[in-house]
Structures are given as structure tokens and as C-alpha cells.
Amino acid sequence: MQSIDVVFLTETWHDTNSIALCRLRAASFTVIDRPRPRDPSAAASASLNVNHGGVAVVAALGISLQPYVLDTKIMTFAFISVSLQSTHEKMVALVVYRTGPITSLFFSELDNLLSRVSVLKDVLIVGDFNIRLDRKKEPTTIAFIKCLSSHSFALRVH
């Protein structure tokens, strides 16, 4: 039997005080999250709708989980960056969730973010980019893989 020490979540459908994340915290898990911001101009009734699109990281006892601040403004995807440390390893993890159309701005913002973390020793990038990696000749797939490799990151999804 294996245990899971860290979970990376995308498209979380949560708000800041989500009961599911509060229960994890009460059970001694560490949670760092970034809910999708609500539209402040939406009607009051719309604020009761489920909020989709956030990201979160959950770590069990024994794993030190801290925010890793990357001072950059991103418009085309949600992301959270954290520092993880166990007794044997230390790394930075970047969790990404992309929705909406794939534009040149997305690749520009992704390139900017990757340039900030590519100088670090151990980096894990996880998430849902909503890019069809099984379609190897698709322009967005080619651009995505090129963006990763230009910062010496390797794609591990098959």
C-alpha cells in the first residue's frame, strides 16, 4: 500500500472558505490555494454560483509546504507556486490551470513564468494546460513543447 503525501489540484471549484479545504486543514493537512477570483460586477445571485477554475496544493504531515512567491501578473491562466520540503528532498512546484482560448499572450505569459523558475534547481510543473499533447503536429502542441524545452523542461506525459 502506498500513501500520498502531496496532491496538486486544478479546476477546484472552490472559494476561500470552501468546506472541503477547511476539513483538510482541520485534519492537519497543509493547504495552499488560489480560488478563481469572482467577477465583482456580477449580480448578487451570481455570487452564489459555484466558482470554477482555482488551483490548490495539499500536503500531509511531514511535508513542509510554503508559498513560493513569483511576482508576476498572469491573465491567461491560473497558477500557484509552492516550496515543498521533506526530510529527503526540496523542490518548487508550479500548478497551472489554463482555460479559454490559446493565444500568443498565453505563450508569452507562460514563457515569462518559466523563465522565473528555470533558474531553480528542482522544479516540478503540473496542471491542466488544456492542450492536446496527443496531436503532435498541432501548432499549439508544438508551441507548448518548444516553450518548455527552451527553458530546459522535459515533458513527462505520454
**pTM (two decimals):** 0.87
Higher pLDDT, 82 or 44: 82
pLDDT digits (tens, 9 = 90+) for 10-20: 998 888 788 99
C-alpha cell at 101: 482560448
CA distances from 89 to 54, 62, 86, 98, 123 (A): 27, 12, 5, 28, 11
Burial class (CB in 10 A: 0-12, 13-18, 19+), 42: exposed
End-to-end CA distance of the chain: 25
> How many residues belong to the chain?
158
* pLDDT(102) > 90: yes
Structure confidence at residue 39 (pLDDT) = 65
* Model pLDDT, residue 3: 80
146: confidence class by pLDDT, cuts 50, 70, 90:
very high
Q: Identify the pLDDT of residue 37.
A: 72
3-state secondary structure 64-88: EEEECCCCCCCCCEEEEEEEEECCC
Average pLDDT score, the chain = 89
The yes-or-no verdict on residue 47 having pLDDT over 80 is no
Interval 144-153 mean pLDDT: 96
Segment of 28-32, 44-48, 50-54, 154-158 carrying the highest mean pLDDT: 28-32
Dihedral sign, Cα of residue 121, residue 127, residue 128, residue 132: positive
How do residues 64-84 score in pLDDT, each as one tens digit? 999 999 989 999 999 999 999
Grouping H, G, I as helix, E, B as strand and the rest as coil, residue 10 is strand
